[in-house]
Amino acid sequence: MEGSPIPVLTVPTAPYQDQRPAGGGGLRRPTGLFEGQRNYLPNFIQSVLSSIDLRDRQGCTMVVGSDGRYFSRTATEIVVQMAAANGIGRLIIGQNGILSTPAVSCIIRKIKAAGGIILTASHCPGGPGGEFGVKFNVANGVEIVDPVDIYLNLLRTIFDFNAIKSLLTGPGQLKIRVDAMHGVMGPYVRKVLCDELGAPANSAINCVPLEDFGGQHPDPNLTYATTLLEAMKGGEYGFGAAFDADGDRYMILGQNGFFVSPSDSLAIIAANLPCIPYFRQMGVRGFGRSMPTSTALDRVAKSMKVPVYETPAGWRFFSNLMDSGRCSLCGEESFGTGSDHLREKDGLWAVLVWLSIIAARKQSVEEIVRDHWAKFGRHYYCRFDYEGLEPKTTYYIMRDLEALVTDKSFIGQQFAVGSHVYSVAKTDSFEYVDPVDGTVTKKQGLRIVFSDASRLIFRLSSSSGVRATIRLYAESYERDPSGHDQEPQAVLSPLIAIALKISQIHERTGRRGPTVIT
């Protein structure tokens, strides 16, 4: 009968010990755990709802969205039921359950919602054998909203859409190729880039969200975005981009498959912010980068006389900086960049920034990158991921490595590899003191800095589930333009050799090489 109260059931349950949120602010585990373990998802959702100040629950609004992966529909129903049981007055849900992570953040800010729950495992594979996850953003009716409209209206206030439209439709138009990788970004790409900005419909590929992402790994890098890479290598397209499953990570390619590393992309965006109306109006207060991200951004910050904040991996550290007015632009080497227009990294925003820079400078992607190198120098950079390792093994590898590199006798030690000699200038186990609230975060990666400013970093990743990942980062700086055309792997191979020697990672894991190189 209309107006009758919804019965609320009290269900006995027990806690799961593996539900501590990772650095990204959420839970990511194999889909089978969510499907097969009793109350696995309800437990976590209840914990999220209990952690938010909901004293005025009946007047409270929450946003719910997903990247459309397998189990999303069932999970959305569970979230709706749990929200109703907790007395949440109103839910905003994306049409067909679809909302990108940046769009959820946008809606939260627009309507001043209490928070948002995003059902995604980011760039990890989907399907019954894949992964599932829950992110939460904080800041009895159910309202279904268009997944794109509110977000599109925000973008219109940030960019010069006329300039981008002229680039894509005018004389000598730029031909683009954009791969949504069968994730949440398909509707956004079609509505924003094609319908709004005039790119031909065939510019956008893999735009239908699929529960298993077409059997592919929705991770925008050279290893997994091979369809886009091959198309770009043909030379027909001048600009290419790919997005991960929930739309917060991106990759940029130029004509003939010219790859823009995420660290370079962040630095180039920083150096060209005056091309964006939003930043001409708001100004630039500071930059932020995760510690493993290359120091290319630091050189831009120095030239602009603005501070740069070096944080642990995990976007929540940037959110604090942006909310306090300290940071205008932040980014990570893991293909995520965002600004203070949202509290989230935002892949489509980054693509529109790049198109704005191309429109303003009237140069190709490769020309823009090479001009940047000529002005600031080139930071050669790569990351080795050793995925799916036994957690106990990774613990001992990192423990022994920390004991080695933080010993005082390690400073000044020299490593000779071929004709290269590297002298250790500084080492530490990175810790971060948040300038906003003073919170101290320790053991965020091991750093070795050499006398020529080259760096090696080792970090244990906490973003995935039962298995563990060790990430190895190498960076080398080349100021001389005559050295800007070398292959990154050739430049960095001596540093990699040192890293493998001191960590013994191959010997101790039985691996012959990394799972992924980016």
Q: Which of 332, 377, 411 is nearest to 481 (CA)?
A: 377
Answer yes or no: are the C-beta atoms of 492 and 474 closer than 8 Å.
yes
Name the residue type at position 504.
Q
Q: Please check whether residue 255 is in contact with residue 232, taking contact to mean a CB–CB distance below 8 angstroms.
A: yes
Distance CA 335, CA 319 (A): 17
CA distances from 128 to 125, 171, 197, 230 (A): 10, 48, 37, 29
What is the total residue count of the chain?
518
* H or E stretch covering 186: helix 186-188
Burial group, residue 19, by CB count within 10 angstroms (0-12, 13-18, 19+): middle
| pLDDT for the residue numbered 1 | 36
Sequence-ordered strand ranges (E) for 211-293: 239-243, 250-254, 258-260, 287-290
The whole-number pLDDT of residue 283 equals 95
Do the Cβ atoms of 296 and 304 come closer than 8 Å? no
Per-residue pLDDT of 139-191, as tens digits, reads: 645 766 787 888 999 999 999 999 999 999 988 999 999 999 999 999 999 99
pLDDT at 461: 86
Query: DSSP per residue over 463-494, as a string?
Result: SSSSSEEEEEEEEEEE-SGGGTTS-HHHHHHH
Our CA dihedral for 484, 488, 492, 497, rounded to 10 degrees, sits at -160
Q: Are 324 and 364 in contact (CB under 8 A)?
A: no
Concerning whether 122 is annotated as a catalytic residue, the answer is: yes
Single out the catalytic residue among 72, 100, 122, 476.
122
| Full 3-state SS string of 62-126 | EEEEECCCCCHHHHHHHHHHHHHHCCCCEEEEEEEEECCHHHHHHHHHHHCCCEEEEECCCCCCC
- Taking only the tens of pLDDT, the chain with its 518 residues reads 344 566 778 888 888 888 887 655 688 899 999 998 999 999 999 988 887 766 666 678 899 999 999 999 999 999 999 998 888 888 999 888 899 988 888 988 888 888 889 999 888 889 999 999 988 876 645 766 787 888 999 999 999 999 999 999 988 999 999 999 999 999 999 999 999 999 999 999 999 999 999 999 999 999 899 999 999 999 999 999 999 999 999 999 999 999 999 999 999 999 999 999 999 999 999 999 999 999 999 999 999 999 999 999 988 899 999 999 999 999 999 999 999 998 789 999 999 999 999 999 999 999 999 999 999 999 999 999 999 999 999 999 999 999 999 999 999 999 999 889 999 999 999 999 999 999 999 999 999 999 999 999 999 986 555 689 999 999 999 999 999 999 999 999 999 999 999 999 999 999 999 998 88
Please give the pLDDT value at position 2. Answer: 45
The reported pLDDT for the residue numbered 187 is: 94
Spatial CA neighbour of 508 closest among 365, 364, 393, 399: 393
Residue that the structure tokens 């007047």 belong to:
59
Q: Are 70 and 130 in contact (CB under 8 A)?
A: yes
CA dist., res. 460 & res. 445, Å (int): 7
Going from the N-terminus, what domains does the chain have, and what CATH number goes with each?
Answer: 27-145 (3.40.120.10), 151-376 (3.40.120.10), 378-517 (3.30.310.50)
- pLDDT at residue 465, rounded to an integer: 56
- Specify the 3-state DSSP secondary structure of 177: strand
Q: What is the Cα 137 distance to its own chain's centre?
A: 15
Rounded Cα gap, residues 485 and 453, in angstroms: 20
Q: Does pTM top 0.85 for this prediction?
A: yes
